[in-house]
Amino acid sequence: MADTTGRGDVTGPGGPDQVEWVGAPAVRPLRAAVLRAGRPVSEAALPGDDHPGARHAAVCGPDGVVACGSIFPEAVPWDPAGPPGWRIRGMATAEGRRREGLGGAVLDALLGHVAANGGGIVWCNARLRAQAFYARAGFRGRGERFDLPGIGPHIQVWREVEGDRSRR
C-alpha cells in the first residue's frame, strides 16, 4: 500500500491541529468515551483494527486524541465481488471540540488514503445523527435504518473514491 501522510491543518480554538496516523490503541479511549459511553475502553477495540491495511487517523490535542477515524479494506456488503471496498469505523470527535472541522479533516485523510491506494467504494454503518456529516462529504444512504444492539439506530452510507493517479 502507498505511504500516505494524511496530514492536513485544521484550525481549532487553540490554533492549528494536525491529522496524523496513529496506532489503534491511541484512538480507543476517545472511541470509548464518545461511541461506547460508560463501557470499558476494551469494548472500543473493533474488528478490523489490526488488519494489515488498516489506518487510524487522529487529531491530537494537549490531553490526547480529540478526533479520530479508522479505515481498512473490507468488501462492500451488498456487492462483495464488486470493486474494492474500504470500511470506515470508529469516527469520533470529543465533546467540546465538535463543529471545528476536525471530523471532516479526519474523514478527508481516510479518503485520501483510499485514493492513494487505488480507490474503491468507501462505506460504513453510520449513526443516524451522523448521516448529515457523511452527506456533506458526498456519501449516500443505502437500505433501511437498522439498530445495532446496545449502540442504536444506524444506516449504511457509501461513496466512490477514485484512485489518485498522481501518486502512482
Q: Give the CATH number, domain containing residue 150.
A: 3.40.630.30
Q: pLDDT higher for 67 or 37?
A: 67
Environment class of 159 (CB within 10 Å of its CB; exposed 0-12, middle 13-18, buried 19+): middle
Residue 88 included in any domain? yes
Residue 27 included in any domain? yes
- Please give the tally of structural domains in the chain: 1
Q: What is the pLDDT of residue 17?
A: 67
Q: What is the pLDDT of residue 167?
A: 53
Domain residue limits at 58: 9-167
Residue 147 included in any domain? yes
Q: What is the pLDDT of residue 10?
A: 42
Residue 144 included in any domain? yes
Residue 1 included in any domain? no
Q: Are the C-beta atoms of 69 and 107 separated by less than 8 Å?
A: yes
Q: Are the C-beta atoms of 157 and 128 separated by less than 8 Å?
A: no
Going by pLDDT thresholds of 50, 70 and 90, the confidence category of residue 154 is very high
Residue 41 included in any domain? yes
Mean pLDDT calculated for residue range 82-98: 94
Question: Looking at residue 164, what DSSP letter applies?
Answer: -
**Is residue 59's pLDDT more than 60?**
yes
Q: pLDDT higher for 168 or 46?
A: 46
Going by pLDDT thresholds of 50, 70 and 90, the confidence category of residue 165 is low
Q: Across the chain, what does the average pLDDT equal?
A: 87
Residue 4 included in any domain? no
Residue pointed to by grid coordinates 474494492:
84
Q: What is the pLDDT of residue 18?
A: 87
Going by pLDDT thresholds of 50, 70 and 90, the confidence category of residue 63 is confident
All three cell numbers of 117, joined, read 491506494
Going by pLDDT thresholds of 50, 70 and 90, the confidence category of residue 126 is very high
Going by pLDDT thresholds of 50, 70 and 90, the confidence category of residue 87 is very high
Residue 55 included in any domain? yes
Question: Looking at residue 107, what DSSP letter applies?
Answer: H
Dihedral of the CA atoms 158, 117, 98, 154 (nearest 10)?
30
